[in-house]
Amino acid sequence: MKLERILFASIALSGVLFAQTPGNLPRPLVQLNRSFTPVGTIDWDAWKVSSPRQRLAADTTKGFAPTANVVHAIFPDLDKTVGFIPTLEYRKSIDGGRTFLPATTLFQLAAQENWTGPQTYLVSENQLVFVVYQTDAHDVSSDNEAVYVLASDDQGQTWTGPLLVSTSVTGTNPKNKRGFDSEIKIAVASGICHIVYEATPTGVTSPGEDLYYAAVGITGGKLAIVHAERRINTATAAGAFDVDGPTVDADRNLVAIAWSDDRAKTAATTSPNTVNNHFSVVSVNSGATFSKETKHTKIDDNAPTGWDTRRPKVRVAVPNVYVFQEDSRNGTDDNCYLSFSNDLGVSYKDVEVNKTPAGIDMDEMWMDVEQRRVVVAYRDDRNGTGNVTNNCFVVVSNTAGNDFATAQEVQVTSIDTNNIYGVELRGNSVGISMETEPGESFWLAASDDGGKTFEQFVGTTKAPHGDVDSPFMTMTMDSDIVAIWIHDDGNGNSKNNVWTSGIKLPYLVDNTATNKGLALDKALDHAGEVAFVMISQTGTQTPITFDNMGLTVYLTPDALWQVGASSFAFLFAAVVDAQGNATFPAVPNLKTIIGRDVWAAAVTISGGKFTNGTDAIRFQ
C-alpha cells in the first residue's frame, strides 16, 4: 500500500534510533522528591520548571539531548541521610517531562542558615541553566539574605557556583539589608542571566526598598559577573520610597525592567504603599546601560485619587516591550491595562486588555509573548460576584498589542479558578496552569490555535490528592506542557510531596468504548497532512526516534506494529482536517480483540517525512 511505503520509507530515511524511556497518555503523576517538602522551614514556591525556547540537535559526544525535549526542574527536599536537612534539588527530563533523571543536590542548608523558598527561580536557554535564590549563607547570624546564582552550561550535567551577586548586603557594615520578603525576578537572553531584586539601605525604616539589577554569565566554564549590581530607581533618593513587584524580561539584547513604588504619597496618604505607580526602564545593549524611567500609570502626584495599582509584569520580544498593570483606574474595579511599545521602549501606547464586564473584579493576570503574538490570561468573578466563583479567560493580540481593543475574549474554565500559575506560548500552542476548587486541585488548559479555543485537563482531585499548591509550568518546543506542584494526599501541609505531570500536543483519544474508534486532536499545525496510527502490544519501553531534533514516539515496534502498518493501514490512516483533527472510526478496541494490553500512538507525515508524534495511549 502507498501509506505503508511512506511509513517504512520515512523510517528508513530518518535513521530510526532506539532508547529506553517510558511514556504514556494521559501522563501519570510523577513524584520528584525523596521526602516531604520542607515548606514549614523555607516557605512555599521553591519548585520551578523551565524549558529552552530554542531548538538544538542532540549531541551524544557532549551528552546533550535535543533541547525540544528538555525540561529542567528544581525543588526543595529533606535529606534523610543527614538528619532531614532541607536541600535544593535539580532533576532533568530528556523526554519532554515523561520521566526525570536522578536528582542532583545543588545546595544543602547549613546550620542556622535561612533560605526563603519563594525567591527561588529557574531559567534556561540553549544548553544553559541558571538557578537564583536567596539565603544568608554569607553570615548566618545576620538574617541579611543575599542573592546567589548557580549555573550549568552543559544542560545540567555539571554546575558552577554559588556566586554571590548582591555584594552590598555583605561585610561588617553592609550598605543594604535584604529580608525574607525582599523580592527577586530573573530572565535569560543571549547567554546572560538578568537579575532584579529589592534591597533596603541600612538604617532606613522599612519599607523603603530600592531596586537593584545585576547580570551573570558563564565564562570558561565558571560563573562570572557580567554587570555588577547597581541601583535602578535612581530618579529618587535611596530608600526614600518603597519599591514592590520588580519584574524583568529579555530577548536578544533587549532587557526591560518594571516595578511599582509609592513616591506619589501625599499628606493625605502618608502610609507606605497607599498610592503606587508603575515604572520601567529599557536596555538595548544587554543591560550595559538603561534608559530613563517611563511612568506608566498616571496617578496625580499632588492629590489622592482613590485608586491603586497591583504589581506589574513585563514581557519583551524585539522590538516590542509590554508592561502589564492591574489597577482600578476606572474607579470601580480592577482591570488589566497594557502599556506597549513597538520601538524598543522609545514610545508607548495604552490599552485595556481584559473584557471583564463593568463592576466585576479581575485578578491574577499572566501572559507570554512570542514574536508579535501576546497571550494574556486572567480570572474574574462575573459568574459569581464577590469572588464566589472565578473563571479563567484569555485574550490574544496577534499584532504586537495593537489589536487588543478589538480582540475576542475566550472563557477557558467553567470551574472555580483560585489562581493562574503560568501561561506558555510556543507557536500556535498555548498552555495554562491553574489551581482550582473544590479542594485546591490542579488543572491544565491547552490550545493549538493560538488561544482561540482551549481544552481543559484535570490533573488532580481533592480525593485522593488533597490540597494542591502552586502548579508552575513550562512548555517545550515540541509542545509538551509540563507542570510542577506540591500536594499533601490529604495528610496536611507538613506532608507535601513534589509532583509533575503534563500533556503533549497533539494527542490521541480512545473512543472505542462508544464504537467511534480513535481521534487525533490539537494537531492544527499539521492540517492537510496524513496522520497514521501505530500499534504495539509490547508497550512504550523502546521509543522510536525519528531524528536528532527530538521527534520521538514512545511506542515499541513489534510484530503487531508491523502487522498494523502492512495489513491494516486502511484502518489507521486519515488526513488532518482544517480544525486540527483526524478520526479513525474503524479502529476497534484491540485489547478486547487480542485479549491483552495494546498501545497506540499517532504520527503525522508530510512529503514522506515525519513531522510530529503523540504520546502512546493504552486501549481500555
Residue type, 512: T
Whether the pLDDT of residue 528 is over 90: the answer is yes
pLDDT value of position 298 = 64
Model confidence at 421, in pLDDT bands (50, 70, 90)? very high
pLDDT band at 142 (very low <50, low <70, confident <90, very high): confident
Of 25-39, 121-135, 502-516, 606-620, which one has max mean pLDDT? 121-135
Alpha-carbon span 23 to 436, nearest angstrom: 26
Q: Per-residue pLDDT for 12 more than 80?
A: no
Contact 483, 435 (CB under 8 A): no
Do the strands 373-380 and 391-397 form a parallel or antiparallel pair, or are they unpaired?
antiparallel
Question: Residue range 534-561: average pLDDT?
Answer: 85
Residue 6 has pLDDT above 70, yes or no: no
Per-residue pLDDT tens for 198-229?
Answer: 999 998 876 789 999 999 999 999 999 999 99
Task: Taking residues 389-410, report their average pLDDT.
Answer: 94
Q: What pLDDT sits at residue 98? A: 93
pLDDT value for 330: 66
Q: Which amino acid is at 404?
A: F
pLDDT at 21: 23
Q: Kindly indicate the confidence band of residue 19, based on its pLDDT and cuts at 50, 70 and 90.
A: very low
CA distance 320 to 341: 5
List pLDDT tens digits, range 560-609.
767 666 655 556 889 999 999 999 998 888 888 888 899 999 999 998 89
* Per-residue pLDDT reduced to its tens digit, 323-375: 999 877 766 678 889 999 999 999 999 999 999 888 888 888 999 999 999 99
DSSP bridge pairs for 280: 258, 294
Give the span between the Cα atoms of 56 and 549, in whole angstroms.
7
pLDDT digits (tens, 9 = 90+) for 79-132: 777 777 899 999 999 999 999 999 999 999 998 888 998 999 999 999 999 999
Q: What is the mean pLDDT of residues 56-64?
A: 97
pLDDT, tens digit (0-9, with 9 covering 90-100), for 426-456: 999 999 999 998 778 899 999 999 999 999 8
pTM for the model stands at: 0.92
From residue 160, alpha-carbon distances to 116, 154, 197, 223, 365 in Å are 21, 11, 22, 6, 35
Q: Which run of H or E residues covers position 441? A: strand 441-447
Q: What is the DSSP string of 346-390?
A: SS-EEEE---PPTT--EEEEEEEEETTEEEEEEEE-TTSTTTTS-
Split at pLDDT 50, 70, 90, the class of 17 is very low
Number of helical (H) and strand (E) elements in the chain, helices listed first: 5, 44
pLDDT of residue 3: 43
